Amino acid sequence: MKSLSKRTEDIAPSMTVAIDTLAKQLKAEGKDIVSLGAGEPDLPTPDAIKQAGIAAITENKTRYVAPVGLQNVREAVCKKLKDENGLNYNASQIVLTSGAKHAVFNSFAALINPGDEVIIPAPYWVTYPELVRWFGGVPVFVKTTVENGFKMTVQDLKDAITPKTKVVVFNNPCNPSGAVYEPGEMEALAKVIVENDLYCVSDEIYEHFTYGTKFVSAASFPGMYERTIIINGFSKSHCMTGWRIGYNAAPEAIAKMISKVQSQAIHHPSTPAQYAALAAVENGNECVLKMRDLFKTRQDLLKGMLEESLGKKLRAPEGAFYLFIPVNELYGKHTPEGKAITGSIDLCTYLLESVGLAIVPGAAFGMDDCIRFSYAASDDTLKEAARRFDKGIKELK
Ligand SMILES: Cc1ncc(COP(=O)(O)O)c(C=O)c1O
C-alpha cells in the first residue's frame, strides 16, 4: 500500500489527551486512579446553559447554519469583547469554532506558509507546535524559566526574531505555567511585535482565571488589533468542555480566510451547542468568577501539600488552574523496582503505575524539569492526589 500522509505522520498526538484517556480507561477497568491530568473544570455545565441546549434540540434548531456560526451568538460575543475587554468587533469578525483548539487550528491555517517561523514561549500548550508543523511552519521556542515567572521577556522575543518570523503565540494566562503577563509587560512585547510587522495568535481561554494580576487582551495594545487573532471559548469559563464551542476574533480579512477553511472542513460547530453558548454569554460571568475564587482555595491547598512533600517553596501561579512545578531533584533516583527516573515522563509513568496518580509530564509542554497538576478538582481528590504523590516520591531511592 502507498504511504500515509507524511505531514500527519510527523506530528505527535496530544500527550494531555492521551494521559486523560488512559486514566479514564484504567478507571473503567476498575483500577484505582486519581487523575489531575485533564484541563477541565470538575463542575457541571450551569443549568441555564444546559436548558438552552435542550430547548434548541426540542425546538428543532438542529439544522445547518452559516459556517461562521449563528449571527446572534457572534453578536453576543462582540458585546462580551466590548464589555469585558474594551475591544470593538463586528459579528463579521467572529467565527464560532468547535472548541478553542479548533480556533487554534483555524488561526494557523489562515496565517502559515511553509517555512514561516512561529515564536512559541515554552512551556507551551501541547497543541501549538504540532499544528504549526502540520501547516509546514517552524516552531521557534523561547525558553522561559521558573525564576522569571515563566514569562518571555522583550529581549527573549527580540533574540528569537529572524527574517522568517511570521507569528508570535501568546497564551495568557498560560497552560501549563499559570503565568499571567502584567499589562506593562504585554505592552512592551506588543511593541516588538508591531515594530517587526508580525502577527499575534493570542489564546485567552483562561482570561477569567486570574488571581490578582489584571488580564488584558493582546489585541488591546497600539497596533495590535489589526494583527491579532484572539482565541477564546466556553470550555473552561462555563464548564462546557464537551459542548465544543470556541471562537476566533480577528481582523475582517483573516476572519474571511478562517470562514473559508471552516466551510470546507467542518461547516460549523454543532447548532444546539451554539444556542447553549448564547446562554453562556448572556448569563455573564457569575459562574466563572465563583469558580475562580474556589480554584484559588484549591491552588493554596494543593500547593501547601506539595510543598510539604517536596520540602521546598513553590511558586503561586497568577492564573489558569494548574500547578507547574520543578521536580528535577527527583531525577536520577530509582523506583523500588530499580528503574531510573530520568525525566518527567519516567516520573509520571512511575506515579501512574505505582500509586495510581495521573499527572502530566513537563516534557509534553517543552519543559522536562517540571510536572503539571490540574487543581480543577474537589478538595478530597486533591488531598488524595497529594497523599499518593507523597507516597510515590518517598519510595524513590
Ligand atoms: C491553552 C488552551 N487553549 C485551548 C484549549 C482548548 O480548549 P477547547 O476545549 O475549547 O478546545 C485548551 C484546553 O486545554 C488550553 O489549555
For 139, residues 6+ apart whose C-beta sits below 8 A from its C-beta are 117, 118, 120, 128, 129, 132, 133
- Beta carbon of 270 within 6 Å of any ligand 1 atom: no
Kindly indicate the confidence band of residue 283, based on its pLDDT and cuts at 50, 70 and 90. confident
Q: Buried b / exposed e across 175-206, counting CB within 10 Å, b at 16+?
A: bbbbbbbeeebbbebbbbbbeeebbbbbbbbb
Residue 9 has a CB neighbour count (10 Å cut-off) of: 8
| Ligand 1 atom closest to residue 234's alpha carbon, by position in its atom list | 10
Query: What pLDDT is attached to residue 157?
Result: 98
- Beta carbon of 38 within 6 Å of any ligand 1 atom: no
- Beta carbon of 177 within 6 Å of any ligand 1 atom: no
- pLDDT tens-digit profile of 73-100? 999 999 999 999 999 999 999 999 999 9
Q: Are 370 and 324 contacting, i.e. CB atoms less than 8 angstroms apart?
A: yes
- pTM score of the predicted model: 0.96
CA of 244 to the centre of ligand 1 (A): 10
User: Which triple of cell numbers denotes residue 351?
Assistant: 506515579
- Beta carbon of 205 within 6 Å of any ligand 1 atom: yes
Q: Are 111 and 199 contacting, i.e. CB atoms less than 8 angstroms apart?
A: yes
Range 6-44+287-394 classified under CATH 3.90.1150.10: yes
Kindly indicate the confidence band of residue 22, based on its pLDDT and cuts at 50, 70 and 90. confident
Over the chain, what is the mean pLDDT? Answer: 96
- Beta carbon of 233 within 6 Å of any ligand 1 atom: yes
Segment 49-66 mean pLDDT: 98
3-state secondary structure of 285: coil
Pocket of ligand 1, candidates 19, 106, 175, 274: which has the most ligand atoms within 8 Å of its Cβ, to mutate? 175
For 196, residues 6+ apart whose C-beta sits below 8 A from its C-beta are 161, 165
Instruction: Give the right CATH number for 62-283 from 3.30.360.10, 3.40.640.10, 3.40.50.1370, 3.30.200.20.
Output: 3.40.640.10
178/210 Cα distance (integer angstroms): 9
CATH 3.40.640.10 in the chain, residues? 62-283
- Beta carbon of 246 within 6 Å of any ligand 1 atom: yes
